[in-house]
Every structure is written in structure tokens, then in C-alpha cells.
Amino acid sequence: MTLDQTKIGQVVAAQMEALEGDYGEDCEIGDVCTIVEVLGPHGSAVRVRTSEMRPHTVIGLLRLAEAIHISGIRGEGV
């Protein structure tokens, strides 16, 4: 049985629409990171893939994303 890619496709499409709406055509996409939880008979696993393989860059990107997400949960402006 193959993995259904629908959810990833929907999330990426929504992200692209949001980016285009917020930033227009004068910008470009920098580094990209995907985090996916996989559920199955084994339980739960998390996989991460990035376009940038330098660990300090990936960790910085993840920490910034975490801070932005937490401030959004708290209702704080970024």
C-alpha cells in the first residue's frame, strides 16, 4: 500500500497561495523544511526533510518556526 500524498499536496498548495498573496512576485523562496508525522502499525514517527543540509541552518529555521508558531498561539504579533 502506498502512502496517500494528498494531505502534503494540500498543505503545500495552501502555503504557496498564502506566500503569493502576502509577498507577490518580487520575492523568492529560500530554504524549505517539511515535517511529517507518519502513523501506522509501528505507532508514530516524525520525518524531517530540508532543502538546506547544513545543521546550523536547519536548526535555526526550525527554532524560528517554533517561535513564530508559539507567538501565534499566544496571540502575540510577530
Please give the pLDDT value at position 53.
87
Please give the pLDDT value at position 22.
95
Do residues 8 and 36 make contact, with C-beta atoms less than 8 angstroms apart? yes
The 10s digit of each residue's pLDDT in 9-29 is: 999 999 999 999 999 889 999
Q: pTM here?
A: 0.76
Residue 2 has what DSSP assignment? P
Distance CA 13, CA 22 (A): 14
Per-residue pLDDT tens, the chain, 78 aa: give them. 688 999 999 999 999 999 999 998 899 999 999 999 999 999 999 999 999 889 998 999 999 999 999 998 988 766
Distances (CA, A) of 73 to 12, 27, 48, 65: 21, 27, 22, 12
The set of cell numbers assigned to 68 is 513564530
List the domain boundaries for the chain. Answer: 6-74
* DSSP 3-state of 15: helix
Place of cell 530540508: 50
